[in-house]
């Protein structure tokens, strides 16, 4: 059963995984390319920091797209096939989820290998340390979290997804209207803070994404 | 007619009058025209008086429009005018700013404010017609109270105004040493993490010695005494080569292209050293102006009451001597304190905090539970 | 009698315009049960309720002796289902679809499935996107039969298919049923198609079950009568009156069921004249039944005995 589900998910997402794996491998390698041109380690750290945004962005996009591909075919068939299979719904959801988790391993490993290779081939300037392992773990957690969040939304009914997206869009629209009317009420800030400041669910995205750091 | 429209009409008319008067005075006068010119000048003067009266009435209208809504708050030496609706925020911002300012400059911080009155303006006023902003500017120095994070935003703008005043009052020798204005901060006890990164990662081994605890190295890193050949004194052969590479554009404009090529392509340190010695003024200090600024702030904080006066009034002596006077203690003591604060400022570690990892796993479990509750009813 | 499918007072209301009311279905085990009804009658909704794809608002469902939805997974493992529209993962090939599907059914018979593929002329390497409508129908039947189900639930399986493919599918279906004594619940609005294969019939219209009976009973004795000077319908009438309406030129047209030779006497005894007796085929009977039911708001226009005869179990 698991093999069957895993195979379909692999088939649907292999192109995405290929691109993500390539990107995961490339970001650390590219980030160290300009190190030789940097003057002083301060610039090295700044250069590395500049590439840092690539990791959470990749993790978020990967999580979103992988969850969409996991459910895309079922959504198109209005879940009739999935629901007519003789397994409980939670079992089916779990199999799809675990398949996605396993598929995520490829880009996660790519980030780790890319980081390890990148730091292996350069002479790390004195005063700096390589954090390829830590970076890969952070990337893994972010990718898994993004995948789980979007997976949970996708696994729901269109109504659930509509409610979640509707609330988000409604808040943004309300904030725009309030700002346009000159009414100084912050609707989004507390929500964004709640999501991205510890112990919010997405705090892990806001850490320092450094391959090399002090 | 609204006061705003009156504002734009009056400024147009005033401009026209001035241009006409200018044209009138610039036109060569003939003897027979003198009487008519005088009459014309009289007419224009009359017109200018009328326009001035109109401008006064517009100002009065504005005063009537805003005066009822404005109130003032005084915290320390900060006097801030603001709309009554945001007085609570303004008071908190002024308190925050004054605490931050006295944290660096002590009670002498009032010297930097010159009894100035600040006017807190909102984004709406900035976005509105110039007359509103201009009228507010007549009441004092406008400072923005931004829509987002208003209290901290306004406090930062008030502190920035004081720092700007501080920078303007510094003498050239001190300015030359620091090289860039001090970064205003609301947390004076907290040195920016960038300074830590800079000290730890600076190109010169001297900075790393400083980090390890050699105070004489800290002194050299901060560039109190700039040697005649800084490249030879501060940097290693590899760093000199990297420096030549980095400064290639400026150095090429010089004449010794051969030395440049030998330095970069053949790795000749003598060529690199010669090039940098000939362009000593281009060789950057070990630590940046931002980090030197943190040192000055440490000295000011150490010096306590009167430190600012001593800094602004001193001149003539070397920078290090003046800083000793400001801090009221030996330079080594300030250096040690500064080094300790730099080490305290170590940025958040790149290593993943266990709390973050556990929290994200907790949320994953919550979200997965939600997903597993996915209904089969469609 | 044991039932493969049994619902009691099943109710479902997806929106304001449509509701399934007090549906009580009884599908005998081993029967080929034709579930007839016009488009929009609620056939697909009923099937989805039977398979636990929709949540009923009331009533109960039992399939193969298992309560739905409580034991839906167990029931589904013994049911072959062909939905109204293709529902498979279209990015897969035929072989991949079969591999995927078979993984969920412990009773899957790969040899039998391969035979079916061969019989239908389906190539395993073909992608589902490239299959024609007929080929897709064949694949779905293969998947449904390959698991060796005890119950086949087919929702308009031959709708839109050409007669050749339709015949191929029905033939495979009948072979399987005769071989395994499985129950088939097949919904369709193609009356003639069901007439040939079904031994039971249920008619659904506007969410209500109008009738449910053996096909033979449904087909037999349905006549249209032209009556002059029509009598009142007596309780002891030997036939069931499905409907009566005025006839151009005087008299009435009656639709009756259970007509047998010699019943003309009933009219003579009541001072009426029976002018004409017309035989109706299954489709006409079906149309007549729907027409009668639809023209009867509440119980007013429908004769009491006709109302009684609408539902026979």
Q: Enumerate the residues of chain C whose CB falls inside 8 A of the CB of residue B378.
A: 53-54
| Per-residue pLDDT band at B93 (split at 50, 70, 90) | very high
How confident is the model over B170-191, as pLDDT tens digits? 989 899 898 888 888 898 777 7
Q: Which residue has the tokens 């920091």?
A: A49
Q: How far apart are CA C88 and CA A8, in angstroms?
A: 12
CA distance B254 to chain A (A): 21
pLDDT at position B1: 38
pLDDT band, very low/low/confident/very high, at A7 (cuts 50, 70, 90): very high
Segments of chain C scoring below 50 in pLDDT = 297-313
Question: Which of chain A's residues have a Cβ under 8 Å away from the Cβ of B245?
Answer: 37
Q: Do C88 and A77 make contact, defined as CB atoms within 8 angstroms? A: yes
Q: Which of B320, B326, B287 is nearest to B104 (CA)?
A: B326
In contact, A14 and A101? CB cutoff 8 Å: no
From the list C210, C259, C216, C218, the residue with the least C-alpha distance to C237 is: C259
Cβ contact A145–B363 (<8 Å):
yes
Residue A12: closest C-alpha in chain C: C91
The string of pLDDT tens digits covering residues B271-305 is 999 999 988 888 888 998 889 999 999 999 899 88
Q: How many helices (H) and strands (E) does chain C have?
A: 11, 15
Euclidean distance between CA atoms B206 and B286, whole angstroms: 8
Nearest CA distance, A105 vs chain B (angstrom)? 16
Q: Kindly state the percentage of chain B with pLDDT values over 70.
A: 86
Q: Could you report the per-residue pLDDT of A113-140, keeping only the tens digit for each?
A: 999 999 988 877 766 788 999 999 999 9
Please state the length of chain A: 214
Instruction: State pLDDT tens for residues A35-85.
Output: 766 556 667 788 888 899 999 999 999 999 999 999 999 988 888 899 999
Chain B CB contacts of A125 below 8 Å: 201
Backbone angles phi and psi of C20, in degrees to 5: -100, 120
Q: Could you check whether the bond before residue A199 is cis, i.e. omega within 30 degrees of 0?
A: yes
More confident of the two residues B33 and B161: B161
For residue A21, give how far its alpha carbon lies from the nearest alpha carbon of chain B (Å): 22
Min Cα separation C106/chain A (Å): 10
pLDDT at C13: 87
Four-residue CA torsion sign, C106, C108, C110, C112: positive
Interface residue of B374, B375, B377 to substitute, partner C, most C CBs within 10 Å? B377
What residues have CB less than 8 Å from B211, skipping those under 6 apart? A127, B199, B200, B339, B342, B343
Chain B residue closest to A133 (CA)? B351
- Residue A67: its pLDDT value, please? 94
CB–CB contact B378 C54 (8 Å)? yes
DSSP symbols for B224-289? SS--SSHHHHH--HHHHHHHHHHTHHHHHTSS-HHHHHHHHHS--HHHHHHHHHHTGGGSPPSS-H
Q: E-strand spans in C147-222? A: 151-155, 183-188, 200-205, 208-214
- pLDDT tens column, B125-160: 777 656 667 777 778 898 999 988 889 999 999 999
Q: Are B272 and B241 in contact (CB under 8 A)?
A: yes
- Which are the contacts of B338, defined by CB distance < 8 A and separation ≥ 6? B218, B294, B295, B298
Identify the contact set of chain C against chain B, taking CB-CB distances under 8 A.
52-55, 69
Q: How confident is the model at residue B67 (pLDDT cuts 50, 70, 90)?
A: low
B378 part of contact set with chain C, CB < 8 Å:
yes
Specify the higher pLDDT residue, C152 or B30.
C152
Partner C, chain A 163-202, Cβ-Cβ below 8 Å: none
Q: What is the mean pLDDT of chain A?
A: 90
Q: Do B376 and A186 touch (CB under 8 A)?
A: no
Percent of chain A with pLDDT over 90: 59
> Chains B and C: how many Cβ contacts under 8 Å?
7
Distances (CA, A) of B244 to A105, B132, B192, B237, B261: 44, 53, 29, 11, 10
Nearest chain C CA: its distance from A210 CA (Å): 40
Take residue A19 and report the two structure tokens written for it. 């691109």
**Which among C79, C99, C104, C143 is the top mutation candidate for probing chain A, defined by the most A β-carbons within 10 Å of its own β-carbon?**
C104
Give B30's DSSP letter. P
CA distance to partner chain C, nearest, from residue B374 (Å): 13
Query: For residue C54, which residues of chain B lie inside 8 Å, CB to CB?
Result: 377-378
pLDDT at A170 over 50: yes
How far, in Å, CA of A163 to CA of A160, rounded? 5
C107 touches A: beta carbon within 8 Å: no
Alpha helices by DSSP H, listed for C87-126, are 94-102, 110-120
Closest residue in A to C153 (Cα) is: A84
Cis peptide before C69 (omega within 30 of 0): yes
CA distance B283 to chain A (A): 12
Contacts of A83 in chain C (CB under 8 A): 51-53
Mean of pLDDT values over B40-66: 83
Q: Per-residue DSSP letters for A13-79?
A: HHHHHHHHHHHHHHHHHHHTGGGGGS-HHHHHHHHHHHHHTHHHHHHHHHHHHHHHHHHHHHHHTTT
The closest alpha carbon to B98, from B116, B82, B78, B112, belongs to B78
Cross-chain Cβ contact A84/C90 below 8 Å: no
Search chain A and give the residue with CA nearest B352.
A134
Q: Which residues contact A75 (CB under 8 A, 6 or more apart)?
A: A154, A158
pTM of the model: 0.72
For an interface test with A, the pick among B89, B371, B373 (most A C-beta atoms closer than 10 Å) comes out as B371
Report the C-alpha gap between A185 and A197 in whole angstroms: 20
Residue of chain B whose alpha carbon sits nearest to that of C73? B376
Residue of C nearest to B378 (CA): C54
For chain B, percent of residues with pLDDT exceeding 90 = 35
CB of C222 within 8 A of CB of C203?
A: no
Q: Are C267 and C274 in contact (CB under 8 A)?
A: yes
The distance from CA C176 to its chain's CA centroid, rounded to whole angstroms, is 19
Is the CB of A148 less than 8 angstroms away from the CB of B367? yes
User: Neighbouring chains of B at 3+ CB pairs within 8 Å?
Assistant: A, C
In sequence order, which residues have a C-beta less than 8 Å from that of residue B25 and are 6 or more positions away?
none
């Amino acid at each position: 059963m698991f093999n069957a589900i895993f195979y379909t998910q692999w088939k649907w997402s292999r192109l995405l995984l290929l691109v993500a794996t390539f990107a995961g491998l490339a970001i650390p390698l590219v980030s160290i390319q300009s190190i030789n041109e940097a003057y002083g380690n301060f610039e090295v750290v700044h250069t590395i920091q500049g590439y840092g945004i690539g990791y959470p962005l990749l993790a978020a996009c990967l999580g979103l797209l992988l969850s969409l591909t996991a459910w895309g075919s079922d959504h198109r068939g209005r879940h009739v096939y999935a629901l007519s299979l003789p397994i409980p719904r939670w079992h089916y959801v779990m199999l799809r989820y675990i398949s996605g988790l396993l598929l995520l391993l490829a880009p996660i490993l790519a980030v780790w290998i890319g980081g390890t290779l990148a730091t292996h081939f350069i002479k790390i300037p004195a005063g700096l340390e390589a954090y390829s392992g830590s970076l890969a773990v952070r990337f893994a957690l972010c990718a898994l979290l993004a995948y789980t969040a979007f997976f949970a939304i996708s696994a729901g009914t269109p109504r659930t997804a509509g409610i979640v997206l509707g609330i988000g869009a409604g808040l943004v629209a309300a904030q725009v209207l309030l700002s346009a009317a000159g009414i100084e009420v912050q609707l989004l800030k507390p929500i964004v803070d709640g999501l991205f400041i510890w112990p919010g669910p997405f705090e892990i995205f806001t850490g320092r994404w450094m391959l090399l750091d002090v | 007619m609204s006061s705003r429209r009156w504002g734009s009409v009056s400024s147009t008319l005033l401009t026209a009058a001035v241009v006409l008067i200018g044209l009138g005075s610039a036109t060569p006068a003939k003897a027979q025209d003198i009487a008519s010119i005088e009459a014309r000048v009289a007419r224009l003067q009359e017109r200018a008086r009328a326009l001035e009266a109109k401008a006064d009435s517009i100002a009065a209208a504005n005063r009537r429009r805003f005066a009822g809504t404005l109130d003032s708050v005084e915290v320390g030496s900060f006097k801030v005018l603001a709309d009554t609706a945001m007085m609570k925020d303004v008071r908190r911002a002024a308190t925050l700013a004054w605490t931050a300012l006295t944290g660096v400059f002590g009670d002498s911080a009032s010297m930097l404010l010159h009894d100035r009155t600040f006017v807190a303006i909102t984004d709406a006023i900035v976005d509105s017609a110039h007359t509103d902003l201009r009228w507010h500017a007549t009441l004092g120095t406008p400072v923005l109270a931004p829509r987002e994070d208003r209290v901290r935003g306004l406090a930062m703008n008030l502190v920035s105004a004081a720092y700007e005043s501080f920078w303007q009052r510094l003498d050239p020798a001190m300015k030359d040493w620091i090289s860039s204005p001090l970064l205003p901060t609301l947390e004076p006890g907290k040195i920016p993490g960038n300074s830590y990164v800079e000290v730890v990662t600076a190109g010169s081994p001297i900075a790393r010695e400083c980090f390890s605890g050699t105070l004489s190295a800290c002194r050299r890193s901060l560039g109190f005494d700039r040697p005649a050949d800084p490249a030879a004194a501060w940097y290693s052969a590899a760093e000199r080569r990297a420096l030549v590479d980095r400064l290639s554009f400026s150095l090429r404009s010089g004449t010794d292209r051969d030395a440049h090529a030998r330095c970069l392509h053949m790795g000749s340190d003598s060529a690199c050293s010669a090039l940098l010695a000939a362009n000593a003024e281009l060789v950057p200090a070990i630590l940046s102006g931002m980090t030197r600024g943190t040192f000055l702030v440490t000295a000011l904080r150490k010096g306590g009451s009167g430190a600012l006066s001593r800094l602004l009034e001193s001149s003539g002596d070397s920078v290090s001597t003046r800083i000793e006077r400001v801090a009221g203690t030996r330079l080594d003591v300030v250096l040690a304190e500064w080094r300790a604060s730099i080490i305290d400022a170590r940025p958040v570690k790149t290593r993943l905090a266990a709390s973050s990892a556990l929290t994200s796993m907790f949320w994953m479990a919550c979200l997965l539970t939600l997903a597993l509750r996915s209904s089969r009813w469609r | 009698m044991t039932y493969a499918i049994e619902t009691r007072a099943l109710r479902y209301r997806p929106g304001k315009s449509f509701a399934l009311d007090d549906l009580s279905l009884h599908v005998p085990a081993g029967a080929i049960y034709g579930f007839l009804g016009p488009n929009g009658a609620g056939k697909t909704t009923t099937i989805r309720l039977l398979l636990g794809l929709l949540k009923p608002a009331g009533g109960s469902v039992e399939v193969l002796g298992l309560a739905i939805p409580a034991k839906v997974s167990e029931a589904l493992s013994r049911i072959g289902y062909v939905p109204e529209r293709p529902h498979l993962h279209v990015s897969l090939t035929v072989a991949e679809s079969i591999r995927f599907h078979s993984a969920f059914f412990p009773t899957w018979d790969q040899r039998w499935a391969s035979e079916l593929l061969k019989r239908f002329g389906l190539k395993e390497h073909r992608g589902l996107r490239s299959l024609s409508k007929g080929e897709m129908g064949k694949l779905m039947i293969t998947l449904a039969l390959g698991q060796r189900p005890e119950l086949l639930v087919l929702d308009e399986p031959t709708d839109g298919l050409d007669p050749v493919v339709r015949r191929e599918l029905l033939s495979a279906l009948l072979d399987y049923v005769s071989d395994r004594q499985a129950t088939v619940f097949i919904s369709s609005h193609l009356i003639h198609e069901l007439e040939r294969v079904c031994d039971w019939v249920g008619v659904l219209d506007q969410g209500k079950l109008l009738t449910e009976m053996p096909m033979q009973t449904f087909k037999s004795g349905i006549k249209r009568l032209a009556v002059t000077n029509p009598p009142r319908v007596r309780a002891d009438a030997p036939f069931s009156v499905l409907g009566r309406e005025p006839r151009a030129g005087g008299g009435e047209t009656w639709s009756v069921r259970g007509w047998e030779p010699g019943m003309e006497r009933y009219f003579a005894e009541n001072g009426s004249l029976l002018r004409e007796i017309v035989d109706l085929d299954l489709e006409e009977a079906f149309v007549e039944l729907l027409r009668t039911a639809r023209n009867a708001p509440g119980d007013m226009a429908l004769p009491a005995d006709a109302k009684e005869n609408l539902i026979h179990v």
